[in-house]
Structure 1
Amino acid sequence: MLVHERAVRFEEIDAAGIVFFPRFLNYCHDAMEALFAPLDGGYVRLVTERHIGLPTVHVEADYRSPLRYGDVARIEVTIPHVGSRSFTLHYRFARAADGLPVAEVKHIVATTDLTAMRAVPIPNDVRAVLERHRAPPS
């Protein structure tokens, strides 16, 4: 499991004074980039030099409690499934100050050759990162 913490910024708040719901997907992407930081050159090199992308093919989100400006989101990332060309990320959000559950997101991505724009097998180094954060079977 990877734990990624992120402060809620002023520009992420809606008129109700809480995090605007689609911003949670931005938070997921931040956590995904952190997940792949151990790769040589991190997520940046994966995309810009190796031309391997991880486009979203499916997302599900459940919201339980709001986050507000000044809160810190604690995001726990696990990998419940790794296939040959795709994998699933599970994000569990909590308010860092008190552990209050905030949201859960299921995110399925396909490993893609960005030049050819087609799915490709998960590279070995990417697979190794995923396996390190694999969720225990339930």
Structure 2
Amino acid sequence: MNIFAILLATILFAASTTILAYNSEQDATNFASRKKSDALSPRVLIIGFGPSGMSFCHAIEVRRRELEKKGDLKALARLPLVSAFERDSTHGGVWKQRHNAYTTVGDDTSMYEGTWVNGAKELAEYFDYTFDE
């Protein structure tokens, strides 16, 4: 099976389930009212808003804040407009608490709570949101 068939199957599966959309802009409902300059911005679509998708959006948001602080409008215009689609009712992917085949009824599991890091925890956390928070 080639990558295009896999991507098509993923999109069709996502379309047949409840999809929750996230957008890097403050209000996802203002999609139609974007500036004409936004038409030149690259577009990125994330399918499945788990740890990788959230990390990518966090990095884009940190960069956006840095560029706004500097007033670099050209670089801001080159930042991608990011949309993420998640079939579940909330974001988080494997980080979320949920029931699985190995838990009893009423027990929740979360990858994040049971994660062991082979190294300093400070290297695995976000600089603006630490494990202690």
TM-score tier, shorter chain, comes to under 0.3
TM-score for the superposition, normalised by structure 2: 0.26
- The structure with the largest strand share of the pair is 1
Instruction: Give 1 or 2 for the bigger CA radius of gyration.
Output: 2
- The structure with the largest helix share of the pair is 2
